[in-house]
Amino acid sequence: MMRVRVAILGATGLVGRAMLAVLEQRGFPVERPRLLASERSASRTLRFRGAELAVEPVAADAFRDIDVALFASANPVSLEWAPRARAAGAKVIDNSSAFRYDPAVPLVVPEVNGDLLQAQPGLIANPNCSTIAIVLPLAALAPAARLERLVVATYQAVSGAGSDALDDLERGIREGLDGPPPPRAGGLAPFAWNVVPHIDRFEDNGYTREEMKIVWESRKILGLDRLPVTATAVRVPVRVGHGAAVMASFDRPIEPERARELWRAFPGLEVVDDPGTNAYPTPLRAAGNDPVLVGRARRDLSDPNGLVFFVASDNLRKGAALNAVQIAERLCAVDAAA
């Protein structure tokens, strides 16, 4: 099999490090990924297959001879470096939201709309972490009924806000053992011992940007441009693993047992749904694992055509790094090891 020359931009962050780990775990045919970061984060090393790889500051020639660049960077960095990486001949898989809403840029969950990769696009957007976990079970139900409305409430881990937020959570939890947890920087409500219905900035319509990502991206990935969607995105004091309560309406009823059948047959999903043995998805059970867990399937008591369920997934893996590497595998026709 051909070797793929891979770069990771933002290699030292939580998602960047998860990308490196996923490349190793899946036996991705890369020799030495080029690890790139801002000046601030460079000059450290990261372990890959037993070797210490130096992290280099991203610079003009950083993407020379690179086939696939995995971007685990914030929007401004992606906006600056994606055009340069593409000019250097690299295909870019970008985990930021900078390009997700550009109609020319495919937004891909391989199990759902991986066919978009056959056109060999030069820039692919990796979707929002919660959205990935929500669209997988919905796409699996497409053979049974047409989705007509989507209502979501999330339970999102603090690692989704980055490593500084995670450090802050640990501090807040410790301080909160014997007193009130301190506010976060800027006087924001603590994540520790709390739940906070505020992720990313507020939009003019009263939704947060995170909530609108779920609206826009579920439509785009599922190819349902006018799908009515509403979402409430909430941070919970969990390290890794996003949960979501999903209320989905269809053009006809779907029995929970039929839903579970379709989910079991769909790649990327693991059905954890047995009330008798207290089996259901939780973030702790999802963390560190590849599949999106889906369960708690039941009829929507408020809608004869509605199905209610709960998902949990590792927001750093399927929600970010794993999905990006899976895109790279498809793009490079690599046989996935996992």
Binder of its own copies out of 232, 253, 289, 305 (CB under 8 A): 232
Q: Tell me if 282 contacts its own copies by CB under 8 A.
A: yes
> Hey, is 296 helix, strand or coil?
strand
CA 198 to CA 216: how far, in whole Å? 18
Cβ partners under 8 Å of residue 304, min gap 6: 253
Query: Cα separations (Å) of 229 from 61, 84, 215, 220, 335?
Result: 43, 35, 5, 12, 35
CB 241 within 8 A of CB 286: yes
| Torsions phi, psi for 192 (to 5 deg) | -70, 135
- Tokens 């929970």 identify what position? 256
Give the dihedral sign, CA 195/196/200/206: positive
Q: Site residues for its own copies, window 308-337 (CB under 8 A)?
A: 308, 310
Q: Which of 129, 169, 215, 331 is catalytic?
A: 129
Taking CB under 8 A as the binding criterion, the range among 82-90, 109-117, 145-153, 319-327 that sits at the site for its own copies is: 145-153
Binder of its own copies out of 63, 81, 266, 280 (CB under 8 A): 280
Whether 198 is catalytic is no
Whether 242 is catalytic is yes
The token duo for 216 is 């826009």
Which residue, 46 or 238, has its beta carbon nearer to its own copies? Answer: 238
Binder of its own copies out of 84, 86, 198, 258 (CB under 8 A): 198
Binder of its own copies out of 224, 247, 261, 289 (CB under 8 A): 247
Binder of its own copies out of 54, 284, 336, 337 (CB under 8 A): 284
The token duo for 67 is 């086939």
Taking CB under 8 A as the binding criterion, the range among 12-20, 71-79, 296-304, 319-327 that sits at the site for its own copies is: 296-304
| Residue of 235, 338, 239 lying closest to 289 (CA atoms) | 338
| Residue of 295, 288, 225 lying closest to 263 (CA atoms) | 295
Query: Cα separations (Å) of 212 from 71, 306, 312?
Result: 22, 22, 20
Taking CB under 8 A as the binding criterion, the range among 91-99, 132-140, 171-179, 262-270 that sits at the site for its own copies is: 171-179
Minimum Å gap between C-beta 243 and its own copies is: 5
Q: Tell me if 243 contacts its own copies by CB under 8 A.
A: yes
> Hey, is 184 helix, strand or coil?
coil
Residues in contact with its own copies, counted by CB under 8 A, come to a total of: 61
The two most distant CA atoms of the chain are separated, in Å, by 58
Q: Site residues for its own copies, window 1-30 (CB under 8 A)?
A: none
Q: Which of 91, 235, 242, 318 is catalytic?
A: 242
CA 165 to CA 181: how far, in whole Å? 14
Minimum Å gap between C-beta 233 and its own copies is: 9
Q: Tell me if 224 contacts its own copies by CB under 8 A.
A: no
Active site residues: 129, 242
Q: Binding residues for its own copies, per CB under 8 A?
A: 149-151, 153, 155, 170, 173-174, 177, 180-181, 186-190, 193-198, 202, 205-207, 215, 228-230, 232, 234, 236-239, 241, 243, 245, 247, 256, 275-276, 278, 280-285, 296-303, 306, 308, 310
